[in-house]
Amino acid sequence: MTDITRSGTPGGVQLDSINPQQEGLLHLLGNRGMSLPGFAIDAAATQDVETANEYQYSINGIGYTKAAQTGIDISAATFVNGEGTTVDIANIADDYQGYLMAVIDSAGTIKFTQGPIVAITATVTRPRCPANHCPIGDVLIYNESGAAFVVGTTGLDTSGVTDTYADLMIVPATTSP
């Protein structure tokens, strides 16, 4: 087995000389969940989510623990794209669907990232997890309510909205739960 070392250190593969596939593999191995968070709709505020269990995860191979979280306020959360840049959240129009993924960083800060919003007849895909973050869980929001689904405001239990939750260790390669 080859040791992976920093540039200028004897032996192994230099980190500044790895190709994008190797970098992706390092990200996958170093940033992942180690336990099931119990990602679900929040019992008290149905427009929000919660984790029922303590969550163990790693960022760049270093282990962290986050206590169970009730009432994760989506409307007050930071939204980031796959590159980690802060972005505005898009609402989900009637007859459209999309993923909302909770991610966590080494400081224990929970943020959200959103996948493409597509028609309910199209194939939906999950968002990418930003570097130096680990996925916690996601919810597929399938909106047939007759109105726009306002992320962080509309209840996830609204009539005509189907919400499907998944605990995540890594971002799955498949598009649906």
Query: If you write DSSP's letter for every residue of 74-100 in order, what string do you get?
Result: GGGS-BB-TTS-B-PPPPB-TTEEEEE
Q: 39: pLDDT confidence band, cut at 50, 70 and 90?
A: very high
72-84 residue pLDDT tens: 999 999 999 988 9
How far apart, in whole angstroms, are the C-alpha atoms of residue 167 and residue 36? Answer: 6
3-class secondary structure, 16: helix
How far apart, in whole angstroms, are the C-alpha atoms of residue 20 and residue 2? Answer: 18
In this predicted structure, what is the pLDDT of residue 5?
Answer: 45
The domain spans of the chain are: 1-30, 32-167
Burial annotation 22-45 (CB, 10 A radius, 16+ → b, else e)? eeeeebeeebbbeebbbbbbbeeb
How far apart, in whole angstroms, are the C-alpha atoms of residue 103 and residue 112? Answer: 6
> Is the model's pTM score more than 0.85?
no
Tell me the sheet residues that pair with 96.
Answer: 119, 143
How much is the average pLDDT of 35-41? 96
132-142 residue pLDDT tens: 999 999 999 99
47-56 residue pLDDT tens: 999 999 999 9
Residues in the chain: 177
Count, in order, helices (H) and strands (E) of the chain: 1, 13
